Chain A
């Protein structure tokens, strides 16, 4: 854990890790061809990224996953322990960590103006694409079925996931308006590179990073190299 975490950060990490557990518990409905239970668990994962940002959000999800593997019954259906990790659905647990990071990283770049449409896009990329990117191949390998068959099995969850993405964005937009400063806004890499050349090699000052929306599409170019 980075030594830059303040005690308040630690408290937020712990509370959100516990929140994911709390959202995982009520009423798990097994659905889909492989019987993976649907709960609000992924809502908690997406919220952690969208509300706490990349560092705290990823750490919150990691804490949740570690505690589940250590053997607390905090996975849907009151499951827990290493058995889940060696089983077919273990990849989703790793996917959650990646997903929260992707959502958090992008959300920090969207702030301070958290516009709904781009937020929906990045939350779907992190909350659905990134999670399935690890979860589906993991299922395919452990169960030994072709990748496309595993992907079709996972399709049953997409409608629920889309609802969770919308809910996450609406909640996050309300929270960030009412409670600014939870996530430190960061510029997109191309905006940062631009600000750096503007300031003739000086590090990005907080003034510029506070307004990441300056990336003018007409001037925008890929300076990431």
Chain B
């Protein structure tokens, strides 16, 4: 399954995912405290500097950030209407910086590495069965293309019959096929000795 990770050997790529995650959390916390638009603009510039530092392609990075830009195009004026422009600018810069940092994190971290980190962290929680969580996560990743195909097939089938998209007419066959898929997976796992 493809994520957003871009292969590379930069400092950010080599950093351990857990450490990177902690840094990201710390940065977002600091951002939440900053109120001055000038300080936040500096923070944004610094986070943008991480993009060339990690040798990330500009266009792919922009694609991560643009959805929030559309949102801010509406939210910043609304905020200014209810408050002041400096506050609105600070809010916009804060969100933009946070999203940029998160995008850098996502693009420099492989999904597999992050899954391993999650599983390693969960192993320390006594009441969680980390192996089973790992199994569910891996199984889900495997299932996403499968289920997307099921949804697409059902919609196409409705269209081919010229009956179009009653939501219920789509949802019932999708659910029935999903439950059958789950049963098949369950049997396959039991056959491979995953039973309790």
Give A contacts to B, CB under 8 Å.
Answer: 1, 3, 5-8, 10-19, 21-23, 25-26, 30, 33-36, 40, 43, 47, 51, 59, 63-64, 66-67, 70-74, 77, 79-89, 142-146, 149, 163-164, 167-168, 170-171, 174-175, 178-179, 182
Contact = CB atoms under 8 A, between A and B. Distances in A.
Interface stretch (B7-15, B50-58, B105-113): B105-113
A147 B182 CA distance: 41
29 contacts: A7-B189, A7-B190, A8-B182, A8-B186, A10-B136, A11-B182, A12-B182, A12-B186, A14-B139, A14-B143, A15-B179, A15-B182, A18-B148, A19-B151, A19-B178, A22-B150, A34-B75, A64-B140, A70-B115, A71-B4, A71-B106, A73-B4, A84-B102, A88-B75, A142-B95, A145-B82, A149-B82, A171-B175, A174-B172
Contact of A175 (B24, B132, B179, B194): B179
Interface string B133-168: 101110111111011111110010000000000011
A33 B74 contact: yes
Contact of B75 (A17, A79, A143): A143
Interface string B100-128: 10110110010100110010000000001
A216 to B, nearest CB: 34
Contact of A143 (B91, B140, B150): B91
B36 interface: no
Given A88-B95, A174-B172, A15 B190 contact: no
A71 B189 CA distance: 26
A82 B102 contact: yes
B125 to A, nearest CB: 10
B72 to A, nearest CB: 8
B190 A144 contact: no
A11 B71 contact: no
B40 to A, nearest CB: 13
Contact of B136 (A13, A51, A143, A146): A13
B135 A10 contact: yes
Contact of A80 (B3, B91, B141, B147): B3
Contacts of A88: 68, 71, 75, 95
Q: Majority SS of interface residues in chain B?
A: helix
A72 B141 CA distance: 9
Contact of B196 (A6, A73, A81): A6
A8 B183 CA distance: 7
Given A26-B155, A40-B167, 8 more contacts: A7-B189, A11-B186, A13-B136, A14-B136, A17-B143, A30-B70, A43-B167, A72-B144
Nearest to A170: B168
Interface of B: 1-5, 24, 28, 64-65, 67-68, 70-71, 74-75, 78-79, 82-83, 87-88, 91, 95, 98-100, 102-103, 105-106, 109, 111, 114-115, 118, 128-129, 132-133, 135-137, 139-144, 146-152, 155, 167-168, 171-172, 174-176, 178-179, 181-183, 185-186, 189-190, 194-196
A19 B174 contact: yes
Contacts of B150: 22
Given A7-B194, A8-B186, A21-B144, A81 B106 contact: yes
Contacts of A73: 2-4
B5 A71 contact: yes
A82 B101 CA distance: 9
A7 B186 CA distance: 6
A181 to B, nearest CB: 11
Given A71-B106, A170-B168, A15 B99 contact: no
A74 B175 CA distance: 19
